[in-house]
């Protein structure tokens, strides 16, 4: 798992731990620590605003439905009620709901909704204030529906719900106490009723918000765990196709890519070339310098071979021991021969001391080269490998440190 940058892994682990601490601790706060709060707001803002818009439209329909009550119980203010409800409050609230589609920060969203709720309270109290019907004051008991709508239906944040409740209660108390024709009970009981509704809905608002945040933390933890599992699986999958010593593809990956390339070449009539590469006298090198030096040698050889890949579709792989392969796609025999020469040169530039008895003092490689056009040859991938292996054997038989091309005349 070393392919993941340490800073990224550390940040992910720290965030995961922070989520765990939030779940473990007991607190009355309705706000997470900075990073978690930011993610919470980002993940929930869009859906919360959508639900608020739908609930707000329902609340406006309900609010304007009181025109029917006004027509029955307070006909003298019906015209003014139409102006206030449909001409002032409704357009303002509709504009606010439309603006919420921009997904503003929560504190702005809650502030706008608080203003709308207080505006509805002002409008309702004003209509009651100018009404002259003897039964008009009974409508004051319905004002508690305003805080129910704001705190529960719209589900504004708890702090905003407190501000809304206080604002609506204060507005109602001021208007009722300014009405000269009301007695003490008619002025104060509706305010007490609204305050009771505010307390009940604030408790419900707090518990709803707290439960929602706790459920989000559980979901976030599961999501982080899932991402970690997926990341580990991706890494394990990468490791299953990677040679542990050299870091290039292993035999399993080579065979998989070869089969895929062969199938594609059959359809596109492209030419595939294969280089099978073997480090000369590697056993003697190991015996002379030890296995750690041998491992270091193989890593250098692997990097040198991989560096001669000229296309993203080419593949360098370690087949096992000191044997490597390079699969060249859309490369004919001449192009493959050039690549083989480049590999010989790259290995020579490494100048890895060998001290062999044949007088060649540096590590060299022998290469067997074979090419095929599957769509025309009617051959198989196994045939290409066998041809390259025979060519490698011939390169070794002829003295090593050379490339032999399959089917070339001796």
pLDDT for 159 equals: 93
Q: Which of 220-224, 360-364, 389-393 has the highest mean pLDDT?
A: 389-393
User: What pLDDT is attached to residue 1?
Assistant: 37
pLDDT tier at 360 (50, 70, 90 boundaries)? low
Per-residue pLDDT tens over the stretch 141-175 = 999 999 999 999 988 999 999 999 999 999 999 99
For position 8, what pLDDT does the model report? 55
Mean pLDDT of 256-266: 90
Question: Residue 396 above 60 pLDDT?
Answer: yes
Residue 118 — pLDDT band, cuts 50, 70, 90? Answer: very high
Length of the chain in residues, anyone?
410
Mean pLDDT of the chain: 88
* Residue 392 pLDDT: 95
The residue with greater pLDDT, 137 or 356, is 137
- pLDDT per residue as tens digits for the range 273-331: 999 999 999 988 888 888 889 999 999 999 999 999 888 889 999 998 999 999 999 88
Per-residue pLDDT, 174: 95
Query: Mean pLDDT lowest for which of 57-71, 156-170, 189-203, 359-373?
Result: 359-373
Please indicate, yes or no, whether the overall pTM of this predicted structure exceeds 0.85.
Answer: no
Q: Which of 85-89, 148-152, 282-286, 406-410 has the lowest mean pLDDT?
A: 406-410
Residue 359 has pLDDT above 60, yes or no: no
| Statement: residue 2 has pLDDT above 80 | no
Please report where in the chains the tokens 């940058």 appear, as a residue: 5
Instruction: With beta carbons less than 8 A apart as the criterion, state whether 101 and 53 touch.
Output: yes
Model confidence band, residue 358 (pLDDT cutoffs 50, 70, 90): low
| pLDDT band per the 50, 70, 90 thresholds, residue 357 | low
Q: What is the pLDDT of residue 284?
A: 87
Give the model confidence (pLDDT) of 214-239 as tens digits: 998 998 888 888 777 777 666 666 56
Asked if pLDDT for residue 140 goes beyond 50, the answer is yes
Q: Is the pLDDT of residue 205 over 90?
A: yes
Predicted confidence at residue 61, as pLDDT, reads 95
Q: Is the pLDDT of residue 356 over 90?
A: no
């Amino acid at each position: 798992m070393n392919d993941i940058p340490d800073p990224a892994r550390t940040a992910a682990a720290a965030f995961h731990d922070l989520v765990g601490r939030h779940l473990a601790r007991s607190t009355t706060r309705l706000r997470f620590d900075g990073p978690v709060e930011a993610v919470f707001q980002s993940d929930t803002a869009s859906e919360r605003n959508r639900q608020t818009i739908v609930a707000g439209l329902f609340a406006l329909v309900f609010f304007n439905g009181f025109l029917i009550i006004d027509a029955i119980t307070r006909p003298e203010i019906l015209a003014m009620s139409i102006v206030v409800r449909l001409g002032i409050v409704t357009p303002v609230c509709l504009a606010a709901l439309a603006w919420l589609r921009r997904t503003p920060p929560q504190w702005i969203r809650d502030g706008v909704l608080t203003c709308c709720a207080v505006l509805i309270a002002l409008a309702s109290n004003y209509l009651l204030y100018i009404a002259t019907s003897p039964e008009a004051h009974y409508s004051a008991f319905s004002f508690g529906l305003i805080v129910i709508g704001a705190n529960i239906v719209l589900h504004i944040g708890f702090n905003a719900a407190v501000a809304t409740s206080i604002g609506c209660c204060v507005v109602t108390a001021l208007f009722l106490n300014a009405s000269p024709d009301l007695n003490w009970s008619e002025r104060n009981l509706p305010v007490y009723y609204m305050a009771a509704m505010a307390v009940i809905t604030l408790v419900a608002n707090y518990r709803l918000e707290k439960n929602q945040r706790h459920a989000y933390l559980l979901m976030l933890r599961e999501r982080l765990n899932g991402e970690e599992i997926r990341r580990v699986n991706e890494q394990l999958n990468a490791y299953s196709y990677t040679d542990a010593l050299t870091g290039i593809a292993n035999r399993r990956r080579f065979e998989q890519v070869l089969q895929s390339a062969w199938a594609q070449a059959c359809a596109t009539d492209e030419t595939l070339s294969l280089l099978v590469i073997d480090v000369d006298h590697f056993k003697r090198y190991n015996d002379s310098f030890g296995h750690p030096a041998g491992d270091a040698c193989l890593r250098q050889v692997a990097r040198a071979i991989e560096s001669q890949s000229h296309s993203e579709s080419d593949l360098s792989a370690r087949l096992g021991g000191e044997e490597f392969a390079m699969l060249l796609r859309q490369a004919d025999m001449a192009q493959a021969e050039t690549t083989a020469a480049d590999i010989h040169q790259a290995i020579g530039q490494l100048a890895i001391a060998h001290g062999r008895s044949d007088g060649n003092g540096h590590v060299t490689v022998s290469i067997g080269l074979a090419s095929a056009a599957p769509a025309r040859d009617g051959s198989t991938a196994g045939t290409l490998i066998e041809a390259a292996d025979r060519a490698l054997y011939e390169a070794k038989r002829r003295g090593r440190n050379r490339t032999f091309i399959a089917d070339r005349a001796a």
